[in-house]
Amino acid sequence: MRVVLLPTCGFVAGTGGQRGFRGRWAHQSSSTYGGCVVREILARFSRVCRVLAVPLFAVLLLTSTGTATAVDGAPGLPDKVSVLSWNACGAYEGCPHWDKPELRVDQVVKAVQDDPSVAVIMLQEVCLGLHAEPLQERLGDGWQVQFRAAPVVRKDPVTGDHEGPTRETGDLGTVHTCLSDKRVPTPEAAPSALLNHDEQGNDQRVQAGGRRDLAGVLVAMKKLPGSELHPVNMTFVEDKKQGAACIKDTGNLLFACSSHFLNKGADPDELSRTASGRDFRDQTVHLQAQGYRTVIGGDLNATPDSKPLQPLYDGNFEADVNQKRPTHTSGGKLDHIFFSDYGWDLVGARLDYPGDLWGMPSLDLRATFGVLLSDHWMFKGTVNPVTGW
């Protein structure tokens, strides 16, 4: 990686072989770019120094062009890759328009159609039968969707302990029912093709049977030239109640996961979220050492630079690392997309508004953005594939 210190702040257009961070996408459609280039480059350099502690076999051939053209095991990656993350707030009756699941699917499909660079989709608080399966049908054979049902987590009012799946056994226990799905459950039906096993051997197809009224997270990956997609769930080691939906492209050495960490009410001491942050990082770093470009994220229910997210900054960079724009109507940035330091250069990030601004009546954008759907904004990060670190 070539490090060039520039004495100015603001947007700097990338040229042929320039590496490192590039200019930021503006909030919505504005053409104003922000962020200090010097700070961005130094931040990148700092992360790279930490990542160099991995074994030397992880370091692949560097080229002077800074492009990924049929080298380092990624023949099908385009020049620009975008990743979309959204907590769609579609699994509970308290969510806006919970009884119109097609509206959420429509927004995701529209985002993909509007931006052909979108290659990975991460959704949280969605339902298997209402959102995941219809999304697979709408996206077609050019995409693969993977769903992970969320284990139930309840706090005992007397002891304060969390009930449900145990840390020790890894038993997935009871999974969340999609309260928005009012159809009659069909456990006798064939298991959904979007359910799968995890790296520890648990198989939600066995657990759920034919039921579709399950709430959880999903990840979707576009089938690129040379793709060999393998869906797999991830169960975190330290807190086995938590995990992610993941897809591995062994043809292009690409790995993507969507997760939803516990919120503050369920995890006031941050122990679960911090453990989840460590496991999310640890279970992807070994793939980076094998030459995989990784992208992990979702609604992590933690703000930038907080304790739960600290592990994820080691070996990765966040798509909106400088501006850290709020992704939730509370004014906090709870949604994050982390790209591996290996194999990516940052182009920028932006927010989209799928529906009206929930909880912000002073900014009445209903006429512009349509119906109210979620308390989270759609968040998109864009990178260029490059060779090496």
Q: How many CA atoms lie within 13 A of 227 on its CB side?
A: 20
- Report how far residue 156's alpha carbon sits from residue 357's, in angstroms, rounded to the nearest whole number: 34
Kindly tell me if the per-residue pLDDT of 167 is higher than 50. Answer: no
In tens, the pLDDT along 296-307 reads 999 999 999 999
- CA angle 265–268–272, rounded 5-degree value: 100
- CA angle 9–83–98, rounded 5-degree value: 120
- Report how far residue 256's alpha carbon sits from residue 142's, in angstroms, rounded to the nearest whole number: 16
SS3 content of the chain, % helix, strand, coil (to 5): 20, 25, 55
pTM of the shown model: 0.78
The residue extents of the domains of the chain are 83-343+350-376
In tens, the pLDDT along 61-97 reads 223 333 444 446 688 999 999 999 999 999 988 888 8
Kindly tell me if the per-residue pLDDT of 22 is higher than 50. Answer: no
Kindly tell me if the per-residue pLDDT of 254 is higher than 50. Answer: yes
pLDDT at position 325? 93
Stretch 8-32: mean pLDDT: 31
pLDDT at position 352? 85
- Report how far residue 322's alpha carbon sits from residue 36's, in angstroms, rounded to the nearest whole number: 8
Q: Per CATH, is 83-343+350-376 categorized as 3.60.10.10?
A: yes
Nearest CA to 217 out of 289, 131, 112 is that of: 131
Q: What is the mean pLDDT of the chain?
A: 77
pLDDT at position 329? 84
